[in-house]
Amino acid sequence: MRVLLAGGAGYIGAHTAVSLLDAGHDVVLLDDLSGTSATAAERVAEITGKSAPLVVGDASDDAVLEQVFTDHGPIDAIVHLAAFKAVGESTQKPLEYYSNNVDTTFALLRAGLSHGIRSFVFSSTGTVYSDPADLPFTEESTTSIDLSNPYSKSKRINEVVLADVARVNPELNVTVLRYFNPVGAHASGLIGEDPAGIPNNLMPFVARVAVGKLDRIGVFGADYDTPDGTGLRDYIHVVDLAEGHVTALEQAQPGFVVYNLGTGRPVSVLELIASFEKAVGRDLPAQILSRRAGDVAATYCDPSKAERDLGWRARLTIDDSCRDYWNWQSKNPDGYATV
Ligand code: WQD
């Protein structure tokens, strides 16, 4: 099938493009390059030996989307990965987050429906789950719009919109994939995560310390009610995540469906650091700091629905993720800007 990847040159996008191309599908990448580089698209072609046209443009612009369908159609499916995703930043820029993260969905749905696509896959987040008493989160766990930040709220708003649109378009498949914490990189070391500025997320921060770009890791709190006192998260290798998109697309049926994409195996901050030190082959400087506002002690999923319905499960471990992330970072110390 031919798949339009909105946000297709990003971290998740580039890896999903590789998995789709390797599975024999055609891919069109649409990206405004606000969070990545055109180099990522070039490297997708280098890895797969297949071309994946990159359209540089705004996924919320109806005219841009019409041109994409004209130039690259017919398109069978849209995978919507185009979003701003920094939780902290979203609390400072709510209008930008709601506008970008929801307007893109409206425009992509308008274009997709008018051109008769069969499937719409949406990149959502495990941060829509609102009650820690539900851990490990299943797809039926409590969600809420009353979440701690505009990023997560924008994702929940998208899910509500998609459910209603699916209800009046019974021939369309809408699949919502709730990611937990994507980490790792493609084994080639050619594509990976390349956050601008100081990384908010743990693994890119640890990697920048390992490659000498930052001095030391700050552990945000060691007084949580967890085995070692540090935060627990469900870190899923980005290649497993990408394969989850391919499986969901290939098995899409008409209707609206939600899947958690996670490992179901919570890992602590200290455990991730220890794993990364194994990959690097030396200790990394770290210090315990106070908790970060808005953080929860633990979040991880029960991934059994995707395994039962799709035959998909995460195969790679935190050690695989740290090994592959270090391979990417050490080969690209300045990300895609590395010459
Ligand atoms: C992980 C753990 C921190 C940085 C992110 C995204 C969110 C969503 C899920 C997609 C926590 C600790 C972190 C650091 C630290 N992604 N930490 N020092 O907050 O779970 O959420 O992934 O939807 O968009 O924000 O991930 O990597 O920021 O934090 O100790 O320098 O690492 O306290 O326990 P988080 P994270």
Map residue 334 onto helix, strand or coil.
coil
pLDDT band at 116 (very low <50, low <70, confident <90, very high): very high
- 224 labelled catalytic: no
CATH class of 2-185+235-262+300-314: alpha beta
Q: For residue 301, what are the β-bridge partners?
A: 137
pTM above 0.90, yes or no: yes
Judged against a pLDDT cut of 70, whether residue 339 lies above it is answered with no
Residue 296 scores a pLDDT above 80: yes
What per-residue string of b and e applies to 220-255 under the rule 16 or more CB within 10 Å gives b? bbbebebeebbbbbbbbbbbbbbbbbbbbbeebeee
Average pLDDT over every residue of 219-242 = 98
330 CA to centre of ligand 1 in angstroms: 22
For the chain, the domains span 2-185+235-262+300-314
Q: What does the pLDDT look like over 20-73, one tens digit per residue?
A: 999 999 999 999 999 899 999 999 999 999 999 999 999 999 999 999 999 999
CA 263 centroid distance within chain: 14
Q: What is the ipTM of this complex?
A: 0.97
Pocket of ligand 1 (CB under 6 A): 85, 87, 125, 127, 151, 179, 181, 200-202, 205, 218-220, 231, 233, 269, 292, 295
Residues in the chain: 339
129 with 152: CB under 8 angstroms? no
**Catalytic member of 151, 224, 259, 300:** 151
**Is the torsion defined by CA of 235, 316, 8, 75 positive or negative?**
negative
Question: What local confidence, expressed as pLDDT, does residue 293 receive?
Answer: 85
Look at residue 39 in the predicted model and tell me its pLDDT: 96
Predicted confidence at residue 103, as pLDDT, reads 97
What is the rounded CA–CA span in Å between residue 127 and residue 147? 8
Residue with CA nearest ligand 1 atom 11: 231
pLDDT of 157 > 80? The answer is yes
Average pLDDT of the residues in 273-292 = 98
Give me the pLDDT at residue 106, please: 98
Residue 237: closest CA among 288, 289, 197, 272? 272
Pocket test for ligand 1, best of 292, 321, 325 (most atoms within 8 A of CB): 292
Cα 71–Cα 77–Cα 82 angle in degrees, nearest 5: 85
Could you give the CA distance from residue 27 to residue 250 in angstroms, rounded to a whole number? 14
| Six-digit token string for 134 | 């539900």
